[in-house]
Amino acid sequence: MTCGTCQREIADYSNFCYFCGARQPAPAEPFRRSRRLMRSTVDCKIAGVCGGIAEYLEIDSTLVRLIWVLLILMPVPLVPAIVGYFVAWIVMPLAPYPVRPVEPPAAAPHSTPAT
């Protein structure tokens, strides 16, 4: 990286120039994909709600399902847990199906002429 003030070479991660002390611009952050809470299309048992929550929180979907089952089994939040699942089922949009990479068609085997 080159200092914009004194035009000397400095390390890429430097916030200030070693020679003139000028503040260096912050490096551009890599593009960050925005996350959106959606029902999962690939990790679903009933409606994909738990799978979508797990993808959003970047944790294992089994853990989310286990917590949901524990909430349902407790006597007090039985109705809110079930109603919450159905509300999430209705409100959360369905994630698009993943796109598979296109594979070129296999070449036809060459036939040898019969002699």
CA dihedral 72, 75, 81, 82 (to 10 degrees): 80
Would you state the structure tokens that stand for residue 93, as one six-digit string? 């949009």
**CB atoms inside a 10 Å sphere around CB 57:** 13
**CA neighbor of 81 nearest in space, from 92, 94, 70:** 70
Model pLDDT, residue 106: 66
**Amino acid in position 26:** A
What is the value of pTM for the model shown? 0.55
User: What pLDDT digit, counting tens, does each position of 23-75 carry?
Assistant: 888 766 555 566 788 888 888 888 888 888 888 888 898 998 998 888 888 77
User: What pLDDT digit, counting tens, does each position of 63-107 carry?
Assistant: 989 988 888 887 776 777 788 888 988 988 888 877 777 676 666
Helix/strand/coil for 76: coil
Q: How far apart are CA 45 and CA 28, in angstroms?
A: 40
